[in-house]
Amino acid sequence: MRRFFRNPVRLVPFAFLVPILLGTGLLMARWSTVEHGRPPVVTALFTATSAVSVTGMAITDTPNYWSGWGLLVITLLTQLGGLGILTVAALVILVVSRQLGLRNRLLVQAESAEFGIGDVGRLLRRIALTVFACEAVMTALVAGRLRLAYDYPVGRALWSGVFHAVQAFNNGGFALYSDGLLAFSRDPWVSLTLAVGAIIGGLGFPALFEAVREWRQPAHWAVATKLTIWGSVVLLLVGFAGLLAAEWTNAATIGQYDVPGKILASFTQIALSRTGGFSILNIAALQEESYPLLIVLMFIGGGSASTAGGIKVSTFFLLAFTIWAELRGEPDVTIGHRRVATASQRQALTVALLSVALVITGTMVLLLLTEGVRLVAALFEITSAFSTTGLTIGLAAELPAGGQLVLTVLMFIGRVGTLTLGSAIALNTRRRLYRYPQEQPIVG
């Protein structure tokens, strides 16, 4: 057993499992619900997993089911999940760099473009400072708006600001309103603040720190930073244009808004659909063509080493560049005058294909456990759970316990799976002393 845990990567799932079980126990206390009754085990487990994995998917009416204590537990679990993911990611990078030898340590240091092996403590302090500073600014903006424009009492405005700031920046999706954030779909002070917070939290701090430091010279950014920053911009613009066009005349979403209202609601919903999970629009009332768009964006997710889930923006665009190079017959994949290592291409392909397999398998299991569920609805919920986005069309709450457990497992795998897989691949990297003869099988 001790030998099994010598590999630090194997500790990652357990590091997330402990707070999930602890949170489940706390949420099962009678004082955690409004009616002071013990919730079902599946409900408590689902909610705790959703919070720790910073998914935000709910199977209860959050503000009317959970008491103030329960909501506080959810907030703390979300904050722990967000900070814990970043901390674990940094520590795993440190351990990996130490075990891969001096050459790879120098490569890791060069790729991070700022933090050496001995600077992890400074990195973690900087991350924590950035998280709490961003959440404080978001809290001030949202709470101030609720107090001045909506006449909220000071205490309620402050609590709502803190709760939603933590959820947005950590890319959770729990809300203190039964209909999500529909009431603020045309209020930029609330919706845009939370959307920007989710975007920043979903970039990942390695990319964010380098982009801020070298903002005048984006050409000098590392390849990972370029893929994350510019890839996120492309996804936001494409998603925004697609949702705006699909929902322009839909009276159940943005059809009755004026042009500025349509633009604001569409942009903020896309920004929050990629990672954040808040509902600015009525997700169940979207046009059919909007669901594939959201499914793809959720599956891609956010940046590496961030609070966002999915296969990651850098993985998706690395595969896109690989396909483009293959179509052009080029021997190397180049991004920004840099040649991408073959190992990175294989890792990206592995993560993407395994993620596709998990989503397909989860969808099939969910369809087997339920009756009368549309394929697109099942695929939407499974992708949202796996990508830890948290958007739902209402199906999650209607599923039997078995279906909700499937979503619970997918949320857990989606949060720790890609990190564990990527680190395990790096740790298993070794050089053979021999090579077999090469052969080219028929493809296509």
Distance (Å, whole) CA 196 – CA 132 = 15
For the chain, the average pLDDT equals 84
The predicted structure's pLDDT at residue 37: 85
Q: Name the band, by pLDDT with cuts 50, 70 and 90, for residue 269.
A: very high
The predicted structure's pLDDT at residue 343: 80
- pLDDT at residue 106 greater than cutoff 90: no
- pLDDT at residue 104 greater than cutoff 70: no
Position with higher pLDDT, 18 vs 246: 246
Mean pLDDT of all residues in 321-325 = 91
The predicted structure's pLDDT at residue 330: 86
Position with higher pLDDT, 112 vs 127: 127
Q: Encode pLDDT of 286-295 as tens digits.
A: 999 999 999 9
- pLDDT at residue 4 greater than cutoff 80: no
Q: Name the band, by pLDDT with cuts 50, 70 and 90, for residue 101.
A: very low
- pLDDT at residue 226 greater than cutoff 70: yes
Mapped onto helix, strand or coil, the DSSP state of residue 334 is: strand
Position with higher pLDDT, 68 vs 99: 68
What would the 3-class secondary structure string for the chain be?
CCCHHHCHHHHHHHHHHHHHHHHHHHHCCHHHECCCCCCCHHHHHHHHHHHHCCCCCCCCCHHHHECHHHHHHHHHHHHHHHHHHHHHHHHHHHHHHHHCHHHHHHHHHHHHCCCCHHHHHHHHHHHHHHHHHHHHHHHHHHHHHHHHHCCCCHHHHHHHHHHHHHHHHCCCCCCCCCCCCHHHCCCHHHHHHHHHHHHHHHHCHHHHHHHHHCCCCHHHCCHHHHHHHHHHHHHHHHHHHHHHHHHCCCCCCCCCCCHHHHHHHHHHHHHHHHHHCCCCCCHHHCCCCHHHHHHHHHHHCCCCCCCCCCCCHHHHHHHHHHHHHHHCCCCCCECCCCECCHHHHHHHHHHHHHHHHHHHHHHHHHHHHCCCCCHHHHHHHHHHHHCCCCCCCCHHHHCCHHHHHHHHHHHHHHHHHHHHHHHHHHHCCCCCCCCCCCCCCCCC
Long-range contacts of 266-271 (CB under 8 A, 24+ apart): 266/240, 267/195, 267/236, 267/240, 268/185, 268/191, 268/192, 268/194, 268/195, 269/185, 269/243, 270/236, 270/239, 270/240, 270/243, 270/297, 271/195, 271/196, 271/198, 271/199, 271/236
Long-range contacts of 34-40 (CB under 8 A, 24+ apart): 34/64, 34/65, 34/66, 34/67, 36/67, 39/65, 40/401
Distance (Å, whole) CA 186 – CA 188 = 6
The predicted structure's pLDDT at residue 418: 59
The predicted structure's pLDDT at residue 400: 92
The predicted structure's pLDDT at residue 436: 78
The predicted structure's pLDDT at residue 219: 81
Q: Encode pLDDT of 241-268 as tens digits.
A: 999 999 999 999 999 999 999 999 999 9
Mean pLDDT of all residues in 265-272 = 93
- pLDDT at residue 427 greater than cutoff 60: no
The predicted structure's pLDDT at residue 335: 85
Mean pLDDT of all residues in 81-89 = 64
Position with higher pLDDT, 333 vs 365: 365
Residue 149 makes CB contacts below 8 A (sequence gap 6+) with: 187, 189
Q: Encode pLDDT of 294-317 as tens digits.
A: 999 999 988 877 778 889 998 999
Mean pLDDT of all residues in 140-146 = 95
Q: Encode pLDDT of 196-218 as tens digits.
A: 999 998 888 888 888 888 888 88
Mean pLDDT of all residues in 167-193 = 91
Q: Encode pLDDT of 346-375 as tens digits.
A: 888 888 998 999 999 999 999 999 888 899
The predicted structure's pLDDT at residue 99: 45
Q: Residues of the chain with pLDDT > 70: what percent?
A: 84
The predicted structure's pLDDT at residue 275: 79
Mean pLDDT of all residues in 115-124 = 56
Query: Shortest CA distance to 168 belongs to which of 189, 195, 145?
Result: 195
- pLDDT at residue 147 greater than cutoff 80: yes
